Amino acid sequence: MTKESIDSPAKKTSSRRSFLKAGVGTLAAGAGAVSMPHVARAKTKTLKIQAAWGGGIFLENAKSYVDRVHAMAGDALKIDLLPVNSVVKTSQMQDAVHRGVLDGAHYVPAYWYSKSKAASLFGTGPCFGWSSQEVLGWVNYGGGQELFDELMGSLGLNVVSFFNSPMPAQPMGWFKEEIKDASQMKGLKYRTVGLAADVLLEMGMSVVQLPGGEIQPAMKSGLIDAAEFNNPTSDRDFGMQDVSKDYHLASFHQSQEFFEVTFNKKTYDRLAPELQAILKYASEAENSNFYWHNTKRYSEDLVKLREQGVNVHRTPDSVMAEQLKAWDVVVDRIAGEDEFFAKVVKSQKAYAEEVMGYLNLNQPDYKLAYKHYFG
């Protein structure tokens, strides 16, 4: 074979084409391997959380929190939200979370108040001139969360909790006649929960603690004479307008409250930090949504209650003044028996005095403006 035949232009071109074809094929195969790597996807973590609500607006609120978690977590975290009594009764929810029977719960601290009366200070305590918004401010910036965590530690509870959804003051509730004086309340069998039970007992009422779904049947049967739950929407859903026509708004018995979303601490600690943050900040985000959404619904349903023949009254200031006096007696008594309770009250008073001192000086009289435009 001559040198010329080896180095001929035709041969060189053919060899170059063969090389290029082989190279392109190799690169294509390589590119395919790079673009479609074998990556194992992390398994979705699912948390089973039971709500204290079987339906109605509060279950909608619980779902709203879950929706926020899902929107931020994507496929990494899923919450299976279970309605009331799905796994355990409401009174057993905290223990179930502590033991890991449930991964979490959506309820209010007043529902496990029997373990510690200090629990009721986190949402259903005395009014030191503040609303739910400011109590949540105390939780986040006034040492409230740290005190709550201390309480959990003292009770030996394996839980971590976040608070959200600042509720408007709860109505004094449904009566068989208009209440014009506190003396009319003496001896009445009345439904409420938490520390409010102690306060109204101090005012001479006979208090019965019942789950929300049992209130209307109890009043219909005469088991109780009067009752409160939380708001016009829930009350209307329960059918309270069918057993009473006198509805009193404004009260200090539960003038501030919010939800507690609690998780089994071991389960929470095993989550990736970014998922822990999502559970926390979804709770914060739900604060605004709850207030905007629920106040609109409450006002709409109050109009509907009036249309159904309900007489809506504002509780007289004289009655609310008696409630404050009863609060003083109850708080002083429990604080004298419970050092931690006294510690929480002292912290709350310090925060309320400072923050409400500013707000009361700065806020205009919104009721004056309302009357100017709407009468």
Got the DSSP string for 310-336? -EEEEPPHHHHHHHHHHHHHHHHHHHH
Give the span between the Cα atoms of 332 and 345, in whole angstroms.
10
Element (H, E) at 263: strand 257-264
Evaluate whether residue 344 is within a structural domain. yes
- DSSP class of residue 350? H
pLDDT of residue 177: 96
Evaluate whether residue 325 is within a structural domain. no
pLDDT of residue 303: 98
Contacts of residue 96, defined as CB under 8 A and 6 or more positions apart, other chains included, come to 50, 87, 88, 102, 105
Evaluate whether residue 219 is within a structural domain. no
Count of alpha carbons within 13 angstroms of residue 93, beta-carbon side = 28
Evaluate whether residue 295 is within a structural domain. yes
Axis crossing angle, helix 339-362 with helix 317-337, rounded to the nearest 10: 140
pTM assigned to the model: 0.86
Q: What is the CATH number of the domain that holds 71?
A: 3.40.190.170
Evaluate whether residue 126 is within a structural domain. yes
| Residue 225, both tokens | 């004479």
10-residue stretch averages of pLDDT, the chain, 375 residues long: 40 41 41 44 88 96 98 97 96 97 96 91 94 97 97 96 96 97 96 92 93 90 94 96 97 96 98 98 95 97 98 97 97 97 98 98 97 96
Q: Domain total for the chain?
A: 1
- DSSP class of residue 253? T
pLDDT of residue 42: 64
The answer to whether the beta carbons of residues 348 and 121 sit under 8 Å apart is yes
Contacts of residue 199, defined as CB under 8 A and 6 or more positions apart, other chains included, come to 253, 323, 326, 327, 330
Element (H, E) at 189: strand 189-191
Evaluate whether residue 81 is within a structural domain. yes
Evaluate whether residue 291 is within a structural domain. yes
List C-alpha distances in Å: 247 to 5, 56, 85, 321, 326: 109, 20, 29, 19, 22
* Residue numbers of the domain that contains 286: 45-166+256-311+340-361
Residue with tokens 């899902």: 70
The per-residue pLDDT for range 217-251, each reduced to its tens digit, is 999 999 999 999 999 999 999 999 999 999 999 99
The answer to whether the beta carbons of residues 315 and 248 sit under 8 Å apart is yes
| Residue 229, both tokens | 């739950």
Evaluate whether residue 282 is within a structural domain. yes
pLDDT of residue 210: 84
